Amino acid sequence: MVRLAAVCGVILLLVACAGDTHLTFLDPQGPIAHQQRWHFYWVLAVMAVLVAGPIFVLLPYWAWRYRYGNKSSTYKPNWDFSRLLEIMAWGGPIIIVAILGFFVWHDSHKLDPYKPIVSKQAPLRVEVIGYDWKWLFIYPDQGIASIGTLAMPVGRPVSLHITSATVMQSLFIPALGSQIYAMGGMVSQLNLEASKPGKSLGENTMYNGNGFHQQKFTALAMSPADFKAWVIKVGATGIVLDAQTLKLIARRSTRSDLIAALPKATSMRGNVYFTGVGKTLFPAVVKATMDGTKTLPNTVFASASAATTPAKRNSGAVTEPSQ
């Protein structure tokens, strides 16, 4: 118990003096992580009081009281059954599990990552492709894409559709909410929302080779106005995502290797931005991975001209039907 408290203390301490990147759901930046924290503390508290408490008190006490050297305590070498104690031994855990089971059922549904977040605003759609060892975030409704930063407006749900162009990966932004696997030829979903501006750690948690530990990104929550500006900036400065560029992205390399390999390295503080990203790119990558074909049809790459008029495509609220 003391130890447990100490561990929790250490956690809190470290979280309290956290740097500028939010690392953990104990320092939540959105409603999902917030509820997860609550659930975590609740389960921990129930168990600390009902499970660990009695055992950590009784076991040392009994071991000491009934130690060999203590001749004054009761000794009943053949006493091996008591109906009452047996009922308690089974009943206690059953009650605890029943309480916790209720929470599991309730919260699994409430916090199902596939469940759209209820909001007045339509969700921002983002399509995520996991490459070795970088994530490509496509904003299909804005015609832009980014490697290194997942930008999102505060207060508006984000609906992520996720796939992998290589091996299994797992997309995770602890301070915002759940993680979900990215698998080749399949699309998984994750719904998140940021409630305050700030940077959160984003990562892949499923080992996928040498650059695994460098497959990080920043989840950047900003005010709606800033987000608008960001979209325009990306549209204006991004490079065109053509077949050649996508080939470079698909190579097994880290983000910094990619930046070094790009002919016109338009990297903004370690990020790479793209314009002219068509809506059909994501489904095409899913299908190509499923079919095992290396090249995508040319039609999925929007013409370069689209890239020059990003402002038209930017969005505060999406007008297209989403999903």
Partner 1 sequence: MSIVADSGGPFLGRLSLHSLPFWDMLQHPTMSNIINGIIATGAASLVVIGALVVIALLTKYKLWRPLWSDWVTSTDHKKIGIMYIVIALVMLTRALIEAVLMRAQQAVGLHGGFLSPDHFAQLFSTHGTIMIFFMAMPFLTGVINYVMPMQIGARDVSFPVLNSISLGLTAAGAALVMVSLVIGKFSTGGWFGYPPYTEATFSPGVGPDYWIWALSLAGLASTLTGINFAVTIYKERAPGMKLMRMPLFTWTALCTAILMIFAMPPLTVATSQLALDRYLGFHYFTNALGGNMMNFANLFWLFGHPEVYILILPAFGVYSEVIATFSGKALFGYRSLVMATMAIAILSFTVWLHHFFTMGQNANINAVFGIASMLIGIPTGVKIYDWMLTMFRGRVRFTTPMVYSIGFILLFVLGGMSGILLANPTIDYQVHNTVFLVAHFHNVAVPGVLFGMLTAYHFWFPKAFGFRLNERWGIISALCWIFGFMGAFFPLYALGIMGLPRRTVAYAQARYVPLEWVAFLGALLLLAALLALLWQLWISIRDRDANRVFVGDPWDGRSLEWSNSAPPPEYNFAVIPSVQGRDAFTMAKENHSAYERPDTYKDIELPKNSAMGLVIAALGFALAFGLVWHIWWLVIAALLAVIASMIVRGFARDTTRLVSAQEVRREHHRWIDAVAAATAVSRANECKTVNVGLAQHQANGVVP
**47/318 with CB nearer partner 1:** 47
**188/267 with CB nearer partner 1:** 188
**66/303 with CB nearer partner 1:** 66
**179/266 with CB nearer partner 1:** 179
Q: Give the burial class of 287: count Cβ atoms within 10 A of its Cβ; 0-12 exposed, 13-18 middle, 19 or more buried.
A: middle
Query: Sign of the C-alpha dihedral, residues 315, 147, 194, 162?
Result: positive
- For residue 20, which amino acid is it? D
Under a CB-based contact definition with an 8 Å cutoff, are residues 220 and 149 in contact?
Answer: yes
**124/288 with CB nearer partner 1:** 288
CB of 282 to partner 1, least distance (A): 16
Phi and psi at residue 283, in whole multiples of 5°?
A: -60, -30
Residue 38 DSSP SS3: helix
CB of 145 to partner 1, least distance (A): 22
Question: CA 262 → CA 52, 130, 191, 249, 258, distances in Å?
Answer: 56, 19, 32, 9, 6
Count of CB atoms situated within 10 Å of the CB of 148: 24
**56/228 with CB nearer partner 1:** 56
Under a CB-based contact definition with an 8 Å cutoff, are residues 183 and 165 in contact?
Answer: no
CB of 273 to partner 1, least distance (A): 21
Query: Sign of the C-alpha dihedral, residues 303, 308, 314, 320?
Result: negative
CB of 133 to partner 1, least distance (A): 10
Distance separating alpha carbons of residues 46 and 311, to the nearest angstrom: 53
CB of 23 to partner 1, least distance (A): 4
Distance separating alpha carbons of residues 212 and 219, to the nearest angstrom: 18
CB of 158 to partner 1, least distance (A): 16
Distance separating alpha carbons of residues 247 and 84, to the nearest angstrom: 70
CB of 303 to partner 1, least distance (A): 29
- For residue 25, which amino acid is it? F
**218/275 with CB nearer partner 1:** 218
